């Protein structure tokens, strides 16, 4: 038997995700150009006409408009509704993660879900912008660090003890480990090899991830997995194209941070013992 109130919250989390996915689209388009995401309202990128409220309903408007701008007929790329669908899906997954049962429908668990949905938004926006422009906007990296630390402090005040209850101290250590430690490694690599192995955007992104997920084991696990997949894909593509291929590292870090957020405990339980099987047990 599904709890009706819980089902209502679950549906709301999908709708909320769809609407925020629509807002992510605006951020993805405007932050690389240093434009405000609040003013002016959504415009058609082709003719500049303000998008009316009835044409701004996630996914539905895109279908009703026949995938074109109402004024100039500019074909609206499928990435717009797809980002909205991604928002709806992630809204649901984050809700399920932080409010796993009807007994968890309290302010602390709901606040945790809201905070980590902001984090997921930063990861998605950062990844899309990095893929398109090879930059990570400060809005989703350094500006998001205080949000992570203060958010973790707020959850502590609310008495939150569920998944990812890292507390503000862990959040600060996570941000420092991500920023200072990996920043130091980037400097060392630059000093030794004379070229940038890890971009400064990636270092700032790691600090942001640390401020939401804490230092141990999250930031260690995320960096390790991203390095492994980054190397495998990078070497594979270099062999395939027969020239050195540089992949943006940000989306790779963001993907593993998302996987850790949603399934970290399961994966650590299942795969980490297998990885460290040769180590003496505690
Ligand atoms: Zn237009």
What pLDDT digit, counting tens, does each position of 232-261 carry?
888 888 888 888 777 788 999 999 999 999
Residue 76 CA to ligand 1 center (angstroms) comes to 9
Phi then psi for 74, rounded to 5 degrees? -60, 125
Q: What pLDDT was estimated at residue 224?
A: 86
Residue 134 CA to ligand 1 center (angstroms) comes to 27
Alpha-carbon gap, residue 261 to 213, rounded angstroms: 8
In this prediction, residue 197 has a pLDDT band, given cuts at 50, 70 and 90, of low
Q: What pLDDT was estimated at residue 275?
A: 61
Q: From 140, 153, 149, select the one nearest 174 (Cα to Cα).
A: 149
Residue 212 CA to ligand 1 center (angstroms) comes to 39
Residue 89 CA to ligand 1 center (angstroms) comes to 28
In this prediction, residue 282 has a pLDDT band, given cuts at 50, 70 and 90, of very low
What pLDDT digit, counting tens, does each position of 116-155 carry?
999 999 999 999 999 999 999 999 999 999 999 999 999 9
What pLDDT digit, counting tens, does each position of 66-87 carry?
999 999 999 999 999 999 999 9
State pTM to two decimals: 0.92
Question: Cis link prior to 217 (omega < 30° from 0)?
Answer: yes
Tokens at residue 33, please? 């150009």
Residue 102 CA to ligand 1 center (angstroms) comes to 45
Residue 56 CA to ligand 1 center (angstroms) comes to 13
Rg (CA), the chain: 20
Q: What are the structural domain ranges in the chain?
A: 1-105, 107-282
């Amino acid at each position: 038997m599904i709890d009706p109130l819980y089902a209502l919250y679950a549906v709301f989390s999908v709708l909320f995700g769809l609407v925020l996915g629509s807002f992510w689209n605006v951020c993805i388009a405007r932050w690389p150009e240093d434009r405000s995401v609040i003013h002016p309202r959504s415009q058609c990128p082709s003719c500049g006409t303000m998008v009316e409220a009835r044409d701004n309903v996630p996914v539905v408007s895109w279908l009703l408009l026949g995938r074109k701008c109402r004024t100039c007929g500019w074909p609206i790329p499928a990435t717009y509704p797809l980002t909205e669908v991604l928002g709806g899906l992630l809204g649901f997954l984050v809700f399920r993660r932080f409010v796993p049962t009807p007994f968890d429908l309290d302010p602390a668990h709901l606040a945790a879900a809201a905070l980590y949905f902001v984090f997921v938004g930063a990861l998605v926006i950062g990844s899309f912008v990095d893929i398109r422009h090879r930059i990570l906007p400060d809005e989703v990296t350094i500006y998001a660090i205080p949000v992570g630390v203060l958010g973790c402090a707020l959850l502590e005040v609310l008495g939150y003890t569920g998944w990812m209850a890292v507390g503000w101290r862990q959040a600060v250590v996570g941000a420092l480990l991500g920023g200072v430690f990996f920043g130091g490694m980037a400097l060392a690599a630059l000093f030794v090899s004379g070229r940038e192995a890890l971009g400064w955007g990636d270092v700032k992104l790691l600090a942001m991830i640390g401020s939401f997920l804490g230092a141990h084991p999250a930031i260690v696990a995320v960096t390790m997995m991203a390095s492994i997949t980054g190397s495998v894909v990078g070497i594979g593509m270099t062999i395939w194209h027969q020239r050195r291929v540089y992949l943006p590292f940000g989306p790779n870090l963001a993907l593993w941070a998302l996987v850790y957020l949603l399934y970290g405990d399961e994966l650590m339980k299942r795969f980490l013992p297998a990885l460290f099987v040769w180590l003496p047990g505690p």
